[in-house]
């Protein structure tokens, strides 16, 4: 194997081809199969940084990893009840989403969102859904819905 660095353009081209092929095969159904993308990063880099089962702590730990690894330049979020709005700027994978949009395909997977979801599901034992991804002006706006635990049956 060569010691030469592989360009982001090349890697994002491959990611685009894989995502597009999966979309062509499964349509909107592929979205729910993509939730595990980033699992290795979560296990190796995020999990031990999360020091308490609190959503702001989880998002902050993931934000640090995303910035440290050069995956994103900035991450901000707000929470209202069980809804999280996350803004991700300068994401390494934004060119993939832009190409998907050019093909008329709504973005259906997001590594930063997946890492946050994995943290909440792992540390709070609560299910989370990535409800929406909107990409505009170099920033992705994510809508995550955290599901409340069902009441105990007595």
Please tell me the distance from the alpha carbon of residue 91 to that of residue 58, in angstroms, as a whole number: 19
Q: Any idea where the domains of the chain sit in the sequence?
A: 8-146
Please give the class, per CATH, of domain 8-146.
alpha beta
* Partners of 144 in beta bridges: 84, 130
Residue 136 has pLDDT above 60, yes or no: yes
Residue 94 has pLDDT above 90, yes or no: yes
pTM for this entry: 0.89
Give Cα separations from 28 to 3, 7, 25, 70, 111 (angstroms): 38, 29, 10, 29, 17
Residue 153 has pLDDT above 90, yes or no: no
Would you list the DSSP string of 40-105?
Answer: HHIIIIIGGG--SS-HHHHHHHHHHHHHHTTS-SEEEEEEETTEEEEEEES-TTHHHHHHHHHTT-
**Average pLDDT of the residues in 105-125:** 94
Return the pLDDT at 5: 81
Q: Are the CB atoms for 31 and 110 separated by under 8 Å?
A: no
* Partners of 66 in beta bridges: none
**Average pLDDT of the residues in 116-125:** 96
Please state whether 137 falls in left (phi above 0), alpha (psi between -120 and 50) or beta.
left
**Average pLDDT of the residues in 94-117:** 93
21-30, 45-54, 63-72, 98-107: least confident range: 21-30
Residue 124 has pLDDT above 80, yes or no: yes
Banded model confidence at residue 151, pLDDT cuts 50, 70, 90: low
The residue ranking higher by pLDDT, 33 or 74, is 74
Please tell me the distance from the alpha carbon of residue 18 to that of residue 33, in angstroms, as a whole number: 13
Task: Quote the mean pLDDT of the chain.
Answer: 91
Please tell me the distance from the alpha carbon of residue 75 to that of residue 117, in angstroms, as a whole number: 14
């Amino acid at each position: 194997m060569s010691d030469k660095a592989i360009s982001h353009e090349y890697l994002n081209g491959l990611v685009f081809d894989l995502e597009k092929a999966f979309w062509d095969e499964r349509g909107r159904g592929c979205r729910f199969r993509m939730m595990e993308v980033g699992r290795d990063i979560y296990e190796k880099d995020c999990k031990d940084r999360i020091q308490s089962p609190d959503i702001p702590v989880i998002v902050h730990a993931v934000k640090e990893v995303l910035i440290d690894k050069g995956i994103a330049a900035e991450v901000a979020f707000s929470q209202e009840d069980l809804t999280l709005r996350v803004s991700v700027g300068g994401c390494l994978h934004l060119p993939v989403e832009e190409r998907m949009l050019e093909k008329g395909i709504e973005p259906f997977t997001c590594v930063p969102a997946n890492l946050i979801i994995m943290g909440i599901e792992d540390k709070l034992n609560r299910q989370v859904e990535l409800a929406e991804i909107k990409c505009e002006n170099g920033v992705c706006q994510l809508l995550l819905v955290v599901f409340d635990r069902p009441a105990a049956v007595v």
